[in-house]
Amino acid sequence: MSGDRPRDHHVGMIVPSSNLTMETELPRMLRAREDVLPEDRFVFHAARARMQHVTPEQLRAMNAQAQRAAAELADARPDVVATACLVAIMAQGPGYHCTAEDDITAALRAEGSDAPVVSSAGALLSGIAALGATRVAIITPYMEPLTKAVVDYIEDAGVEVVDSLSLQVPDNLAVARLDPADLREHWRRLDLTGADALVLSACVQMPSLPSIEAVQDEAGIPVLSAATATTHRILTGLGLEPRVPGAGALLAG
């Protein structure tokens, strides 16, 4: 082994106050990467924005807190900043992730931070593109109207959503407590005819990581999630190989 010391990469996260999964799945993936690529290590710093129920009103209120959270993270001088949740951005209308990323970037720059910014909404789109997919099916924990907003957002970006499944869980803490093993059955309710990728969780709060590879093996098409896509963007934003074992085709390296 070389005498070089591992590099620490500081990851800032803007997290909905009731989100438990972003701070679970993203570190879990990057810890798994450390096992196979030990030259890079990851340190996490979170700032929270209040949100308890996944309603349009609370999502708008949470978005309004993003610049304050970004300013707080800037003090830690992160190497990259990732923001969730996906639906808070997508519910504002097509293309809003660009506005959200620009606003957070401006808040960081005002405080002397030059960290690149990743949104889970933008990451999901870029993750689908990285797989070369143009037709996807998605599973969300949201109520039907919010799922429709996500579908419309993805389709506005030029990707056809061939089918979607809403689990209709409005309480954000309850979403975090959903059993990811159930997704191994939920996906079977989708019509995957013509789909070239499956978004197993279009929500950074709904756990899915333990089921990504199992569903991918059974479905026979690439499987990703908002969390794996966000991790992909974090790694590429840091100039690192997007490789995480056991996290699906997007992070196969």
CA-CA distance, 26 to 214, in Å (whole number)?
A: 19
Q: Are strands 135-140 and 117-119 parallel, antiparallel or unpaired?
A: unpaired
- Whether 203 is catalytic is yes
Across the chain, where does the E strand assignment appear? 7-16, 40-49, 80-83, 117-119, 135-140, 160-166, 197-201, 223-225
Residue 53's DSSP bridge partners are 171
Point out the catalytic residue in the list 149, 203, 204, 221. Answer: 203
Which tokens is 51 given?
Answer: 């949100």
Q: Give the contacts of 76 (CB within 8 A, at least 6 positions apart).
A: 10, 12, 45
Residue 223's DSSP bridge partners are 198
- Whether 85 is catalytic is yes
Residues comprising the chain, all counted? 253
Point out the catalytic residue in the list 85, 118, 133, 250. Answer: 85
At 27, give phi and psi (nearest 5°): -60, -35
H or E element that contains 63 = helix 56-63
**Contact 43/9 with Cβ under 8 angstroms?**
yes
Q: Give the contacts of 145 (CB within 8 A, at least 6 positions apart).
A: none
Which residue numbers are catalytic? 85, 203
